[in-house]
Amino acid sequence: MKNIIIRTELLCKSFVSDGEVNNVIKNLDLDIYEGDFTIIMGSSGSGKSTLLYSISGLDEITSGKVFFENQNISSLRGKKMASLRKEKIGFVFQGINLIPNLNVYENILSPTYKTRRDRKSIEANISNLLDRMELSSHKNKFPNQMSGGQKQKVAICRALINNPKVLYADEPTGSLNSSQGEQVLDIFTDIHKNGQSIVMVTHDLKAALRGNRILYLKDGRIDGDLKLDEYDEENTKEREDMVYHFLKSKGW
């Protein structure tokens, strides 16, 4: 039995613009399991990013509840929410969003400012991450001196520096070429195998194949939920067919 790490109850998220209400997420009941690599797919504008922002606490929800490790986080505000975010979640943004005037090392370190974490363990963590992502020799470089793939790896290090319970990623391979994308996906696979819970939005079939569960979002609701645990990882053909047919049946 897997533990539920995130649960939503009747989650709604709406935007109001020009006096019009846009109900993006509609009465969503969803469980996300600890240790899973959960993929969120759906057509452009279906609300994938909105869902990710809502369940991670990055954005306020309109109504309903979001539980993180059984704690209702939907009513947390200000400092309490900020500290939960810093201590428990890591987020890789769609646009990478590194701080241009900080070098690689400082970018990765930036979420640790104002945390109560011990400096020694942070430093050990950062050198371990730099090592794993083959970035050690780049740590003094600035973002504009690096390739897209390298920058995305820095963004992943930054998201992991506080050992988050859940790593969220919004189309992390969206702006990368295919070999850079593969490299970044290998990192996600690697950290998932080490027990990290991941929730990733993607448009990319190859990226989706890395997950063990695929949620398909349509009109603010979950229209499909494919669990891949029982499909042998080595048997990639069977897995690929499964995912391909699932997405096809959803009109992807």
Ligand X SMILES: Nc1ncnc2c1ncn2[C@@H]1O[C@H](COP(=O)(O)OP(=O)(O)O)[C@@H](O)[C@H]1O
Judge residue 232's burial from the number of C-beta atoms within 10 Å of its C-beta, 0-12 exposed, 13-18 middle, 19 or more buried. exposed
**Shortest Cβ 18–ligand X spacing (Å):** 10
| Count of positions on this chain that bind Mg ion (CB under 5 A) | 2
d(CA 139, CA 196): 24
The structure tokens listed for 232 are 């042998």
Q: How do 197-201 and 166-170 pair as beta strands?
A: parallel
The structure tokens listed for 44 are 């452009």
Which of the ranges 15-23, 147-155, 160-168, 174-182 carries the binding residues for ligand X, by CB under 6 A?
15-23
Q: Which residue of 11, 32, 48, 68 would you call a contact of ligand X, by CB under 6 A?
A: 48
Instruction: Note the helical H segments in 21-165.
Output: 48-56, 78-88, 104-109, 119-132, 148-160
**Shortest Cβ 214–ligand X spacing (Å):** 15
Which of the ranges 40-48, 129-137, 138-146, 172-180 carries the binding residues for ligand X, by CB under 6 A?
40-48
Which of the ranges 38-46, 70-78, 79-87, 143-151 carries the binding residues for ligand X, by CB under 6 A?
38-46
Q: Three-state DSSP class for 183?
A: helix
Is 172 near ligand X (CB under 6 A)? Answer: no
Between 45 and 251, name the residue whose CB sits nearer to Mg ion.
45
Strand partners, 68: 6, 71
Is 49 near Mg ion (CB under 5 A)? Answer: yes
Is 45 near ligand X (CB under 6 A)? Answer: yes
**Shortest Cβ 67–ligand X spacing (Å):** 21
Between 143 and 211, name the residue whose CB sits nearer to ligand X.
211
| Count of positions on this chain that bind ligand X (CB under 6 A) | 12
Element (H, E) at 244: helix 236-249
At residue 45, what is the residue type?
G
Which residue is listed with tokens 């820095």? Answer: 154
Q: Which does 50 bind (CB under 5 to 8 A by kind): ligand X, Mg ion, none?
A: ligand X
Q: Three-state DSSP class for 11?
A: strand
Of residues 127, 94, 95, 89, the one with CA closest to residue 108? 127
Q: Which residue of 8, 49, 103, 197 would you call a contact of ligand X, by CB under 6 A?
A: 49
Which residue is listed with tokens 């020799």? Answer: 137
**Shortest Cβ 48–ligand X spacing (Å):** 3
Q: Which residue of 5, 32, 41, 50 would you call a contact of ligand X, by CB under 6 A?
A: 50
Judge residue 2's burial from the number of C-beta atoms within 10 Å of its C-beta, 0-12 exposed, 13-18 middle, 19 or more buried. exposed
Is 54 near Mg ion (CB under 5 A)? Answer: no
Is 17 near ligand X (CB under 6 A)? Answer: yes
The structure tokens listed for 203 are 């448009």
Contact residues: Mg ion, CB under 5 A:
48-49
Binding site for ligand X (CB under 6 A): 15, 17, 22, 24, 42, 44-50
